[in-house]
């Protein structure tokens, strides 16, 4: 089962699966480096959302076709990035609710990946649990590095924080727009 833990970590930190890292980066770039509690709330919200649909989709049936899931994942990144362009701060409550909803979509993507790795005769609860724990560990590692970079940016100069947030959001929006075009399910 430890192998599923490692698969979960690798799935988040794998450069080829950069869409999940991009989502976390864009999500956290919209948070003030001083607001570490907000980071915890947002990571927890994402965990709640994706854990629900990961479990449901692996144990039962996909809620929507995988082609649409793969299309909606970059849309969540684009919407998150677009929210970061607003100068006024959105309430943490609103961000948490949106992040849970976006987590639901990402969880279906995680489930598609995990389902492709499972042997047909294996009990599902153990791989599901360990894979999800691995995803969480990968997210925590990535988020810790990001928060460290955001704090370093703030330490260098307070004036660099907002341009760095906007820059990361622009890159995230552009990359996810290209992904959405590539993943368009009706072509």
Provide DSSP, 3-50.
HHHHHHHHHHH-GGGHHHHHHHHHHHHTS-TT-HHHHHHHHHHHHHHH
Q: How far apart are CA 15 and CA 12, in angstroms?
A: 8
**Looking at the predicted structure, is the pLDDT value of residue 2 above 70?**
no
* Maximal CA-CA distance, the chain: 56
Q: Quick one: which of 171, 114, 123, 137 has its CA closest to 47?
A: 137
Average pLDDT of 54-65?
A: 88
Stretch among 81-85, 87-91, 146-150 having the lowest mean pLDDT? 87-91
| Residues sharing a CB contact under 8 Å with residue 186, sequence separation 6 or more, in sequence order | none
Question: Under a CB-based contact definition with an 8 Å cutoff, are residues 151 and 33 in contact?
Answer: yes
Residue 33 has pLDDT above 70, yes or no: no
| pLDDT band of 1, cuts 50, 70, 90 | low
What pTM, to 2 d.p., does this model score?
0.88
Higher-confidence position of 165 and 160:
165
**Across residues 167-172, what is the average pLDDT?**
94
CB 41 within 8 A of CB 100: no
Which residue in 139, 161, 148, 127 sits closest to 48, CA to CA?
Answer: 139
CA nearest to 42, candidates 24, 20, 55: 24
pLDDT tens digits for range 89-139: 778 888 999 999 999 999 998 888 888 888 777 778 888 889 889 988 998
The secondary structure of residue 158, as a DSSP letter, is G
Kindly report the average pLDDT of the chain as a whole number: 87
């Amino acid at each position: 089962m430890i192998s599923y833990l490692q698969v979960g970590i690798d799935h988040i930190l794998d450069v080829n699966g950069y869409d999940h890292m991009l989502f976390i980066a864009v999500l956290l770039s919209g948070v003030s480096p001083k607001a570490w509690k907000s980071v915890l709330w947002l990571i927890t919200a994402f965990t709640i959302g994706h854990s629900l649909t990961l479990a449901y989709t692996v144990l039962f049936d996909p809620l929507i076709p995988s082609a649409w899931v793969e299309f909606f994942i970059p849309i969540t990144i684009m919407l998150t990035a677009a929210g970061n362009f607003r100068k006024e701060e959105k309430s943490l409550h609103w961000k948490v609710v949106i992040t849970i909803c976006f987590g639901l979509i990402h969880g279906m993507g995680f489930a598609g990946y995990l389902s492709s790795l499972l042997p047909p005769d294996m009990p599902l609860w153990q791989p599901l649990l360990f894979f999800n724990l691995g995803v969480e560990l990968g997210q925590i590692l990535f988020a810790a590095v990001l928060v460290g970079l955001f704090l370093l940016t703030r330490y260098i100069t307070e004036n660099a924080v907002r341009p760095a947030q906007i820059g990361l959001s622009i890159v995230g929006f552009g990359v996810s727009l290209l992904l959405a075009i590539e993943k368009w399910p009706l072509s």
